[in-house]
Amino acid sequence: MKKTLLLVFCCSVLFKIKAQQFSGNWDTYVIQTTPKPVSVVVDLDFGYSPGAKEKKNVIIVQLNLKQVQPDGMPAREEIIMLDSIENGLHNTLVSALNAQYTGRYTSEGRRDFYFYSNDTSHCRQHLAAVFQQFPVYSWSVIVKWDADLSNYFNVLYPTSKEMERIKNRRMVDVLHAKGDLLTAPRKVEHFLFFKTAADRKNFATVIQDNGFVIENGGKEMGVKDRPYSLHISRADKVDANSIDRVSLYLWELALRYSGKYDGWETFVVR
């Protein structure tokens, strides 16, 4: 196995949603809920951007899907039409209301598009003009004040656990693009931080029983919250399912000991 190029978990990668050209830091994730899954596409940067401080109204365009799979997601035959609707909504609301598109939420045969704007005047007329081009679809809209971005953070934005999965997938995509044999076990290093040395020691005792090696630990000078660092490693596969199991185990275990999981790194194996 040839080892090349160290890749760090916190690497910056710009993701584009397929077949769309919206600006922002976009990503997608699926929540396996009961009885039907939820699919979310979201601009991860919006909530922390200057635009979020200026645009206090949320515009939620609700669309009933026409061709629905048993899991509640749109059928493949409908995707092109839905992309056209999405582009039409984006272009119209951005142009007419200086709105910012922040994401969409799909579940149980319905897709909701979320926009934020200062100006909501004649919003329904603008939307009606878009849907004139798609008369087979039924739609509705909710327009309301949302200065604290509750719809963005509570509906679209991933939980901390989902964010770990997103980061893992981005890292795996980078490795795959470098030609990595993802199912080949190799040394994977993980980094964590704890509030006290005792918390770190108790965590380390548990993970050593699960085959992890303690590489080193230290104390970050000038850091008040979780200054006690821990660097560990273990040989693992790095395909999406495998690395999710490992990193989420460490993430959840760290929480029990007032710790914070801070990601992983490895090298390319071809």
pLDDT category of residue 12 using cuts at 50, 70 and 90: very low
Please check whether residues 50 and 102 belong to one and the same domain.
yes
Residues 173 and 222 both lie in one domain: yes
The domain that holds 114 is classified in CATH as: 3.30.70
181 lies in some domain: yes
H-helix or E-strand containing 117? Answer: strand 110-117
Position 217 scores a pLDDT of: 95
Residues 124 and 205 in one domain: no
11 lies in some domain: no
Task: Give the domain-ending residue among 129, 156, 183.
Answer: 156
Last residue of a domain, one of 156, 190, 213: 156
Q: Which of 156, 180, 200 is the last residue of a domain?
A: 156
**pLDDT band at residue 210 using 50, 70 and 90 as cut-offs:** very high
pLDDT in tens, 145-188: 999 999 999 999 999 999 999 999 999 999 999 999 999 999 99
pLDDT, averaged across the chain: 91
* Domain identity same for 149 and 187: no
Closest among 51, 64, 155, 65 to 103, alpha carbons compared: 155
Does one domain contain both 166 and 198? yes
Same domain, 39 and 143: yes
**Structural domain span for residue 128:** 32-156
DSSP string of 17-72, one letter each residue: -TT----S-EEEEEE--SSS-EEEEEETTGGGSHHHHH--EEEEEEEE-SSB-TTS
| Per-residue model confidence as pLDDT tens digits over 75-96 | 999 999 999 999 999 999 999 9
Residues 110-126, mean pLDDT to the nearest whole number = 97
Angstrom distance (rounded) from CA 39 to CA 45: 18
Clarify whether residues 195 and 101 are in a common domain: no
The per-residue DSSP string of 208-249 comes to: HTTT-EEEEEEE-TT--SS-EEEEEEEEE--SHHHHHHHHHH
Tell whether the model's pLDDT for residue 14 goes beyond 70: no
More confident residue, 249 or 20: 249
Nearest one of 246, 162, 164, 261 to 203, comparing CA atoms = 261
Q: Is the pLDDT of residue 37 over 50?
A: yes
**Is the model's pTM score more than 0.75?**
yes
Do 117 and 167 sit in the same domain of this protein?
A: no
In a domain, 20, yes or no: no
pLDDT of residue 21: 63
Report how many domains make up the chain: 2
Is residue 80 assigned to a domain? Answer: yes
**Amino acid present at 99:** A
pLDDT of the residue at 24:
86
| The predicted structure's pLDDT at residue 8 | 36
Q: Which two tokens stand for residue 267?
A: 């090298």
Residue pair 215/206 in contact (Cβ under 8 Å)? The answer is: no
Is 18 inside any structural domain? no
Please tell me the predicted confidence (pLDDT) of residue 16: 41
Is the pLDDT higher at 23 or at 262? Answer: 262
Binned at pLDDT 50, 70 and 90, residue 222 comes out as confident
Same domain, 43 and 99: yes
